[in-house]
Amino acid sequence: MPRHRRLRLISIALLALLLLAAALLWHKPYAIISGDFTRQRIAAGLSKASVQIGDDHWVYAYNDDAPRNAPTVVMLHGFTGSKENWFPVARRLRERYRVVVPDLPGWGESNRIDNADYGFIAQSERVARFLQAVSPDEPVVLLGHSMGGGIAALTAARHPERVARVALIDAAGVRFRDNRFGIDVLAGRNPFAVYDEASLQRYLDTVFFDDAAKPTIPWPADRVYIARRTQDAAFEQAVLDRIGRSDERFLPGDDAVRIRQPALLLWCRQDAVIDASALALYAQRIPQARRIMLEGCGHMSILEKPDAVANAVVELIERGRQR
């Protein structure tokens, strides 16, 4: 085939692909972000599954390639987060342990029910049922980040038969030292709100300290993400009012005195969301917990310092474990 004809055919194929991508973006704009999430999941060596538990449809990533009888590690994400936040840590743990990383109901790919309660108490009860479904025969190692940390604390305290060990990472649920984020929440504002380019950058600057770990969201994915977060604004505010301003906002810390399992408390000193003073407050309630304070990272330790987080989880699991 002449070279000019091959070039023409290649150009036509590329144009067709571009048109197909444009049509997909027009009809399903979030597909561009979903596609990247799929890439991240595959790179982390994880598969995807779902389970229906009552009214809640859970979507989760998992890997079952660990040695036989290895513990199951379940990871709970934070406010405005999703299962993808945990993928760097999951990738580092998956060869040693069975890992299960869900989108909490209301978030990510899991379903959201209008006017349902997605506060600490309701979510901890959902998590207990999820743990029963994914690990019916053995209690799990439960990791919780931020809002997920508060949920994990309540689950471990109220359902000890389901939780063998627990890690609270930059966890919500105690009255930490005042910072800008906490003041805004108490005033009824959502400091994480995203509605334009400036607020997106402010959000990223708030949750990340390490610029090298801060994600870049190129066009047109940034527009798609901003549109989704704007659409979710009322839901985000309702959840934040529940976990940040209602009578249950400090319940995870109050109930943490009932946690008897081996535990890990891990924070970043530069956390601008859940101030690092929260670690000592949780430690007063969980005296058996190992305490780790990392330097040079912010609220997203699981993305900024995944090696350190994974190593701490391994030590939590292996300490005192029969081999």
The pLDDT assigned to 1 comes to: 56
Residue type for 131, please? L
Assess contact for 253 and 173: CB atoms under 8 A: yes
Rounded to two decimals, the pTM is 0.91
Per-residue pLDDT reduced to its tens digit, 132-188: 999 999 999 999 999 999 999 999 999 999 999 999 999 999 999 999 999 999 999
Q: What are phi and psi of 294, to 5 degrees?
A: -90, 150
Residue type for 93, please? L
The pLDDT assigned to 3 comes to: 55
Per-residue pLDDT reduced to its tens digit, 220-242: 889 999 999 999 999 999 999 99
The pLDDT assigned to 94 comes to: 97
CA 144/CA 92 separation, integer angstroms: 17
Residue 194 tokens read as 């995203």
Which of the four pLDDT bands, split at 50, 70 and 90, describes residue 32?
A: confident
CA 85/CA 88 separation, integer angstroms: 7
Burial of 104 (0-12, 13-18, 19+ CB in 10 A): buried
